[in-house]
Amino acid sequence: MAELLKVGIADYKVGKSPATIISYGLGSCIGITLYDAKSKVGGLVHIMLPDSTQARANENPAKFADTGIPLLLKEVIALGAVKSRIEAKMAGGSQMFQFAGASDIMAIGKRNAELAKKTLQKCGIKIASEDLGGTYGRTVEMDLTTGLYKIRTINKGEKTI
Amino acid sequence: MSDSMLNLSAMQLDAIREIGNVGAGNSATALSQLINKKIDMDVPSVSVVPLADVPDLVGGPDTMVAGIFLRVYGKAPGSVLFLMPRESAFYLVEHLLGEQKSADGELTEMDQSALMEIGNILAGAYLNALSYYTKLTLLPSIPAMAVDMAGAILNVVIVQLGQMGDHALVIETQFLSEDDGINGHFFLIPDSGSLQIILNAVGVK
């Protein structure tokens, strides 16, 4: 049985084939993976907020898109991934509740997605595929042997990106 | 001030528990009247948990639940969540609307609307008691509802708190109807800073 690495909220894990990395129940959070198909090294960060510079509690870099992605990049490279081969995938960023007159905090999923993309671009990492938005939760997992990113939902079925 | 809630004294915890008790008692009575069944409730549990562990309170982030969410506005802002297993949501709908639901059925818009109204009434009862006890004005927002993974639903609350700290103060009460048809969890999660306001209001230093 291959190793199953579980990633909590505002947390990250890196690993090698044949491990699988999983994160459960993402709402507005985003699960971003970085993967090098040749060395079969990859990692997943489960970010919950976009911007560390706008939060009062920013000791944990894995909590934010702008600091979590560079951290993950550094860690997968340390484990043997080669930067020019690394591709990103991401899923999540939904808006679970619709309110009339909703505050900014309700649209956090969208802002998470925007800043994640911007940060990846800044790091020079290509986004291979994504599954963002909607109004439902996702459980995501990446198989580090194949690089396939599987997304499970309760009402919208399963898909692989 | 981010994680100062980690250092609550026994007296403060008791005061918070008592506040939860008064609020939940009022809610339980309202629920009991709505469905005409006796409702038991637990003594509220008060815990300070790492944000990442909040979904574990309701069986893990992957567990499917029906959740009704409200924001609390006023002097001590926060969030109110009423979470229950899908079966309990069906049970409530059956007792309120008098329609039979099949176990694998979906909640219609009408069902969801009825459930949101329950959330509204429960939160209203809870906050009324809390307002009375603390003399703070506390008003519920319009409710919103989702049937989905617990982790995804709790994201809404966790994100709010995550900007200020890494822990949540959770005041949780479990409701159980006499025939076990309802098994719901009621959460009051004060925003960072609100807890101090509530404690000051009841005169606990």
ipTM given for this complex = 0.83
* Model confidence pLDDT, tens digit, residues A76-89: 999 999 999 999 99
Residue A125 in contact with residue A73, Cβ under 8 Å? Answer: yes
Q: Out of B52, B55, B159, whose CB is closest to A11?
A: B52
Chain B residues touching residue A28 (CB < 8 angstroms) = 155-156, 159
In a mutational test of the A interface, the residue from B113, B116, B159, B192 whose CB has the highest number of chain A CBs within 10 Å is B159
Q: Out of A9, A49, A135, whose CB is closest to B163?
A: A49
Bridge partners of residue B42, in order along the sequence: none
Residue B59 has pLDDT above 50, yes or no: yes
* Upstream peptide bond of B44 is cis (omega within 30 degrees of 0): no
Taking residues A110-123, what's their average pLDDT? 94
> Domain holding B149: CATH number?
3.40.1550.10
* Model confidence pLDDT, tens digit, residues B156-195: 888 878 877 777 778 888 888 777 777 788 888 888 788 8
Residue A57 in contact with residue B162, Cβ under 8 Å? Answer: yes
Chain B residues touching residue A30 (CB < 8 angstroms) = none
Instruction: Give the domains, in start order, of chain A with CATH numbers.
Output: 4-160 (3.30.1330.200)
Residue B130 has pLDDT above 80, yes or no: yes
Which residue in chain B has the smallest CA separation from A107?
B156
Q: How many CA atoms are closer than 13 Å to the CA of A123, on its beta-carbon side? A: 27
Q: Return the pLDDT at B71.
A: 87
Q: Domain tally for chain B? A: 1
Q: Phi-psi category of B32—alpha, beta or left, where left has phi over 0 and alpha has psi -120 to 50?
A: alpha
Q: Which of A22, A29, A41, A140 is catalytic?
A: A29
Which stretch of DSSP H or E encloses residue B70?
Answer: strand B64-74
Residue A102 has pLDDT above 60, yes or no: no
Interface contact flag, A138 B152, Cβ < 8 Å: yes
Alpha-carbon distances of B78 from B75, B204, B205, rounded to whole Å = 10, 20, 21
Chain B residues touching residue A57 (CB < 8 angstroms) = 2-3, 162-166
Taking residues A6-35, what's their average pLDDT? 94
Does the annotation count A123 as an active-site position?
no
Chain B residues touching residue A154 (CB < 8 angstroms) = 64, 147-149
Interface contact flag, B163 A57, Cβ < 8 Å: yes
Which residue in chain B has the smallest CA separation from A103?
B71
Interface contact flag, B163 A55, Cβ < 8 Å: yes
Residue B95 in contact with residue B179, Cβ under 8 Å? Answer: no
Domain of residue B192, residue span:
4-201
Treating both helix axes as pointing N-terminal to C-terminal, what angle do B194-201 and B10-35 enclose, rounded to 10 degrees? 90
- Return the structure tokens found at B197: 């306001």
Residue A32 has pLDDT above 50, yes or no: yes
Q: Out of B2, B61, B159, whose CB is closest to A24?
A: B61
Residue A154 has pLDDT above 90, yes or no: no
